[in-house]
Every structure is written in C-alpha cells, then in structure tokens.
Structure 1
Amino acid sequence: MMWYVLSLRVLYLQYTPAIDIWSIGCIFAEMLTGKPLFPGKNVVHQLYLKTDLLGTPPPETIAKIRNKKARRYIGNTRKKPPVPFAQKFTHTDPLALRLLEHMLAFDPKDRPSAEEALADPYFRSLSNVDREPSSHPISKLDFEF
C-alpha cells in the first residue's frame, strides 16, 4: 500500500484522505484479481499504467498536478481512452466495479469519502452506519516526535 501512497504524493504533493481511498481501491482491485493493479517499476511506469487503465485525464485535472515533471509527462503522452472496468475485471460483481471506479478516480475530488464508500450499495449487507462512527483526523500535535 505504501507504494500507492507514495506514487500519489509525487503527483499531488499533499496528503489527503482521498489518497487513502485510492490506496484502498488499489487493494480492493488486488483482492478481486489476486494480483497488483499497477505493478510499476518506478513513478513514470506507474503513471503509464494508470493512464493505460483510467485513460488520460482531462486538461483541468492535469493542471491540478503539482509535480511539474509528472504534469509534463502526462500532458505530453498520447491521449488514451479509459478501459471499461468490466473489460479489465471480468466476472466481477457490477456493484464492486462501480465502487472501484469511484475509488480509482484520477482526480482526488471525484473519489468518495470513507463514509460515502461504506454507504455504497456494494456494502449494503455489510455496512451499519450506527457501528461505524466518524471522527475528525488526529491532530498533528499528537505526534510530537
């Protein structure tokens, strides 16, 4: 999971809960297929694999990428269409694919929050909002070391 987080930190240079959702989506995909979703050898290879599946993001999403090298790389590569998840993940529950597509949205603002993901129809039989309280993130001051 750490590699997924680090590869996203290179893109956005800011840690947000949306990065956790991306990581969980990658792990979810691994659970569905039994193998890593983006087995990249380095950051550039990771970007290549991501755009191979998700397609080239629109210019407004590329503009949000803070890392100049990553932004330039994605902006200069040939435009790729997204691969339909049903084609990539054959024999997978359509509800799982719908959730996975939301969790793996290229633009972090398009990913669900943890609460929204747990409320997804895929988890209807498992989720119980009363047992899953939400809280604010731990303060950075709690980590004095």
Structure 2
Amino acid sequence: MVTEMSTGNLKENLKFLMKKQKLAVLATCHEHEPHTNLVAFVTSDDLKYVFFVTQMSTRKYSYLTASRKASIMIDNRSNNESDFRNAMAVNANGTVMEVKKTDVSMDLYLGKHPYLKDFLLSPSSALMKLEVKRYVVASRFQNVVEIGMS
C-alpha cells in the first residue's frame, strides 16, 4: 500500500538515514538493460537533491548522460533477521545532470566524504546531481510510503 506522507517524523527519519549512510545503490538503464553501482552520496538539507561523483570514463557516466533518468537506493540493513522488522529502504527517483564543482557543492560532498577529496577534484571525475521527483520509503518490511518532492 502506498500512502502520502502524514507526519514530519517520517521526513526526519529520512534525513537521519541520509546523513548516516555513506553508500547507496545507483540504478541506471541503457538499451533496456539495468545497471547498478555503489556510489558515495550526500543529500541537500531539503532532500531535493542527491549528489555523487563518478569517473567520466565509466558506463555509469555514459548511461546517466544519455538517459538522465536514475534511481538511487539507500538503506540501513544489517543483514540480520531483525531487518524484516527494523530495516528502512528508500528509493529516490528523478533526473540526473552533471553540475559544476563549486565551493558550495564540493563543501557539501566533502563534509560527508572528506577521504574522497582527490576523487572529487580529479579532472576526470564528474559531480552529478539527482533532482529527486519522489522518494519511496519502505519500512517494517511491508509499510511503503511515497513522498513527492515537487
């Protein structure tokens, strides 16, 4: 069952998850074939954007620039039986574009991932921004809530 977000508590839980987790699974598609990668990510404070870095020589980059559509999944699973009761998984769906490496965007990214400074600053890397159209939050294994970001 998908419902509209009814409490601010869910949004606060979402913000907490986004700050705590360092890696996400990015899903792209090329010629009707799905492709997934792990990415280090950070979200904007208002949750409207998800930023990540990729090498421009990768399939990921070419798929993203060709279709501009992507989904990114962030979760807090521990790979234990308790996940069926306690895990939370979030899918952010939207449109991706490469953005300039400005002081603001770099500070945001490096605030969460300071150990990736060389990767971010590399001329062969691109800073990508997913503009989130909606989040789909699954918790307690079967509780699904959709949050529109428009």
When normalised by structure 1's length, the TM-score is 0.28
Bigger share in strand: 2
Bigger share in helix: 1
